[in-house]
Amino acid sequence: MKKGAEKVTTVDQYMATVPETVLPVVEKLRQAIRSAAPKAEEVISYQIPAYKYNGMLVGFGVAQNHIGFYVMSKSILDSFAKEVQKYSVATGTIRFPMDEPIPVALVKKIVKARIDENAAIKASKAKK
């Protein structure tokens, strides 16, 4: 998102700020997330698109040189270490190159793992 731009309040508004050259790649990521988590609520959190279902699931954002996929869970990211080793990875984040296709199957597996993780956390809290 451009600096000084108006704050967005919906994912559609965010998508309207994405450069046309990378929009198809970002839209593919959005579709993969929505497909894996159809019951998740699409929100803006920290000025990026995010998905909530029993807590925050994942988010994404367009940076200058990559598309950030925010897994929001170090343990889940660690469990996919082999699958994400070809990407730049930071705590809870995978950086997808803008000029490569989004690994849709991997994104869906990670989102589903996050749904399971959030369900387990919710169940654990309910027992207390």
Q: Which residues of 27-54 are buried (b: 16+ CB within 10 A; e: fewer)?
A: ebbbebbeebbeebebebeeebbbbbbb
Q: Is the dihedral of CA 89, 95, 99, 104 positive or negative?
A: positive
Q: How far apart are CA 87 and CA 29, in angstroms?
A: 15
pLDDT at 63: 92
DSSP 83: H
In the predicted structure, residue 126 carries a pLDDT above the cut 90? no
pLDDT at 4: 52
First to last CA, the chain: 42
For the segment 54-63, the average pLDDT, to the nearest whole number, is: 96
pTM for the structure as a whole: 0.91
